[in-house]
Structure 1
């Protein structure tokens, strides 16, 4: 029964995510990254929200979580079905419409940040059902507040003149490819490449054999992407080196963070921190939420600090190996909390940014199929990483002696997860290296697109 429930839940997650991603890309072509980051971000507060709801209904019952997981998604899906079926016509937005969307998304990000802070501070502090009910009511009000968007739209003029102008938002896309402008960018890119080929050849996509300087230059330059937004059917996608670098970066980054969260209760128990399990789960959920929101930061920082989105992915992977090596070195409560926060922040950023990266590198119209191919690494990684962790756990439980509690084998001490943390840390370093190589291979395409975007705005 548990296996069947997990199977159904896994299938429903894929379906929910795919529908949400496709709807965001279709309805917000100029603000995809911002819409996607918000959509994925609220997945990160589900644990804290369910904790509040469970404490409000019956703090002593664990079965209430199963009931909530059965009813809440069903009810919210029925409510969301109405606006999904009655979508407005997808006409191209005017410049004023793009600016309006950027204002709305900026406000929504502030609301989301406040919601995350609220859940982080109060979700695990309620001591009785009355207090938990009040806190749950506050959380629901914050979650319902974005429905007041019509009022926000009417107030946009005031906001634009007082606050929005200081951000210098040019549209709201980082370097996402607008489908309507794709042909124009193709034409500009073809013209630029032709000029380079007829000129001194200083910037060529593939260098001649005499210009190659070694193995690294070959790896970086061979068959790399020439432009962003080019559609890749599945048959072409799996033949791309860039895709497999991307796959490894996700497999050895975000997926490890997800497996860590799934084992967090057992990890806390082994380190003698069982009383902090709820706090740790809430902390992971909250920092994952903030990481998902941070994935939209490049869209607002583009004017002052420009990086390719694959560069931001590389930066986001840095905290993961730091966290696992810290956990391997120290088993203290402080190290466990810091490591959990770092893993949550890193994996949250990756989960949200990955959808935009897939759209940019392999085409927005193929996102539904291509991103589902990418996230096949999640069940694969969950199986492999979870199996290795279980083998290490059981072997150490046998060596230190068995503690039988309700017919379960319990391993206590740092050695229960020491090798697992080292293993995960080394793999996350591999993911970091793969992400860095992906950035080096795609930087040229991002730079070309940014230059073409600026040139189209000037003229």
Structure 2
């Protein structure tokens, strides 16, 4: 009789061998998931085209021979396109994600392309059609954002907040990148080049991102049991790289503009190699450590399915409870009818309206602010770069709640409140000393930092409070405050701007009246500062009302 063959498995189990290297196919699938995130980063880095409006707004005003109020309506029209951003959610119901991506690229191509033809005097269009082209360009930005949101949520279900914070942060780097391209092509070229870049670059980047975007999400893309640890290491590495990119673009470097631009492009391509390098480093480090020590911590990742099961059971029991008492709690999925009946939503809406939206309108007026203070167009470009760079840094900081959850018991809405504090301070600083160049740059940096954090954290807050599955529609409902705020704040600024032209502080440039002097925006800064204080109070009330929600989310998580 032959000996039994069941005597070896116990012996092999006692040896607890080191884990085998991941198979190439599994590793490739894991890497392809990260290429989706990198593609979303590229899309965001090329589609923050609304931030460079102030770089060419003065020339657009001169060519069209319009007043400051009518120029403000062009900025409002661009933001008004965002009010139709919900249409991208419906488009996803009928078209693939790649189709929505190229529809956004086509809208941007036409919207900014028409404006470039107008400002370059190739064609002459009535003012109304220029308004339509601005709206189409603004709508394209919302469609791009929706594509990136869906990619992050589909491919990073358990860490979508980290993915969203990282991806959205790169939207703030667009003006600095476009400024580098402008300087590399010809520093003395007309500002109309910005419109040409806004039209062509997103279309080109969309073509590059097509292959990763078509990658289908997989329920199990991990090459090993330690995937959650590897994911966290990759996210940390990508955030560090993003921070390096921020400082690289912010601080002047003794390089020619073409070399400076080449370095920025390399920093945007480098994230493709980060997942492979991090995984290889983690595997080699684990292999060099004692086997029983490293394997003892894998249990944390092995318990993750149990956590998900517990969360699923909690969700199912909550669903049954809601069916019994017909009440939807904050943190559950919210339809539009439920959303607009929530006091928390309106506090959130007001905080965003009086915080991030004011920062966006301020950035749109940077060209006129610099012009009114007698500064050159290069100074205006510097202010745009400062705003965008610190907005980028603020967007990176929006991931702080995810990295510091165990050290600081502060909810995401609490961080939101803290992020709003620099905005009123900056406006009051501008009102007190608007003529000092260093003061303007410092205040611009503070407003960019604050608004960048708000823009990036808003998606995760919307997901936390009103449901992850409804974030696409609910977030687009939230940002309807942008065109409203753009009109209200822009009208206040233009009205006070033009009222000062009657006091003798004016000049005429190409038949358009230009206000000159610190009084042009003095009262505007005071009004904006007071309104941002109101937004700060609203965000604090939101923080107080939602602490229990985040406590419940933390209990479900752990």
The residue aligned with 2:88 is none
- The whole-number CA distance in structure 1 between the counterparts of 2:320 and 2:508 is 72
Alpha-carbon contact 1:259-1:386 (below 8 Å) kept: yes
Paired residue for 1:298, among 391, 401, 405?
Answer: 401
CA offsets 1:69-106 (integer angstroms, 9 cap, x no match): 12110011112121111224234868622221111111
Q: CA deviation at 1:152?
A: 3.1
- The whole-number CA distance in structure 2 between the counterparts of 1:184 and 1:160 is 34
Alpha-carbon contact 2:383-2:444 (below 8 Å) kept: yes
The residue aligned with 2:197 is 68
- The whole-number CA distance in structure 2 between the counterparts of 1:71 and 1:190 is 48
SS across alignment from 1:265 = helix
The residue aligned with 2:433 is 330
Q: CA deviation at 1:401?
A: 3.9
The residue aligned with 2:340 is 238
2:114 aligned with 1:10, yes or no? no
- The whole-number CA distance in structure 2 between the counterparts of 1:429 and 1:298 is 23
The residue aligned with 2:361 is 259
The residue aligned with 2:11 is none
2:557 aligned with 1:427, yes or no? no
Alpha-carbon contact 1:310-1:357 (below 8 Å) kept: yes
2:178 aligned with 1:50, yes or no? yes
Alpha-carbon contact 1:226-1:444 (below 8 Å) kept: no
- The whole-number CA distance in structure 2 between the counterparts of 1:44 and 1:188 is 41
Alpha-carbon contact 2:356-2:455 (below 8 Å) kept: yes
Change (3 A) 1:303 1:225: farther
Structure with the greater alpha carbon radius of gyration? 2
The residue aligned with 2:250 is 120
Alpha-carbon contact 1:58-1:64 (below 8 Å) kept: no
Change (3 A) 1:59 1:179: farther
- The whole-number CA distance in structure 2 between the counterparts of 1:47 and 1:373 is 26
The residue aligned with 1:87 is 216
SS across alignment from 1:47 = helix
The residue aligned with 2:67 is none
TM-score computed with the length of structure 2 as normaliser: 0.69
Change (3 A) 1:340 1:161: farther
Paired residue for 1:352, among 441, 447, 456?
Answer: 456
Paired residue for 1:36, among 164, 188, 197?
Answer: 164
Q: CA deviation at 1:191?
A: 12
CA offsets 1:151-202 (integer angstroms, 9 cap, x no match): 333223357799xx9xx9x999xxxxx987643344788999xxxxxxxxxx
- The whole-number CA distance in structure 2 between the counterparts of 1:161 and 1:360 is 38
Q: CA deviation at 1:362?
A: 0.5
Change (3 A) 1:158 1:397: farther
Paired residue for 1:271, among 373, 381, 384?
Answer: 373
The residue aligned with 1:134 is 259
SS across alignment from 1:59 = coil
Alpha-carbon contact 2:175-2:385 (below 8 Å) kept: yes
2:203 aligned with 1:78, yes or no? no
Q: CA deviation at 1:298?
A: 1.4
The residue aligned with 1:26 is 154
The residue aligned with 1:175 is none
CA offsets 1:212-234 (integer angstroms, 9 cap, x no match): xxxxxxxxxxxx98453x10011
The residue aligned with 2:511 is 407
- The whole-number CA distance in structure 2 between the counterparts of 1:113 and 1:161 is 30
The residue aligned with 1:157 is 283
Q: CA deviation at 1:386?
A: 0.7
Higher mean C-alpha deviation, range 347-356 or range 152-161: 152-161
Aligned residues: 410
Extract unaligned runs of 5+ from structure 2. 1-114, 116-129, 289-293, 302-306, 322-326
2:488 aligned with 1:397, yes or no? no
The residue aligned with 2:269 is 144
- The whole-number CA distance in structure 2 between the counterparts of 1:79 and 1:262 is 29
Q: CA deviation at 1:280?
A: 1.1
2:233 aligned with 1:103, yes or no? yes
The residue aligned with 1:183 is 312
Alpha-carbon contact 2:311-2:556 (below 8 Å) kept: no
- The whole-number CA distance in structure 2 between the counterparts of 1:132 and 1:293 is 25
- The whole-number CA distance in structure 2 between the counterparts of 1:449 and 1:107 is 26
The residue aligned with 1:443 is 547
Change (3 A) 1:429 1:180: farther
Alpha-carbon contact 1:321-1:429 (below 8 Å) kept: yes
Alpha-carbon contact 1:227-1:446 (below 8 Å) kept: no
Alpha-carbon contact 1:253-1:432 (below 8 Å) kept: yes
TM-score computed with the length of structure 1 as normaliser: 0.83
SS across alignment from 1:365 = coil
Change (3 A) 1:225 1:99: farther
* Matches for 1:305-316 after TM superposition, within 5 Å: 305-316=408-419
The residue aligned with 1:208 is none
- The whole-number CA distance in structure 1 between the counterparts of 2:286 and 2:517 is 56
- The whole-number CA distance in structure 1 between the counterparts of 2:199 and 2:394 is 27
Cα-Cα RMSD: 2.9
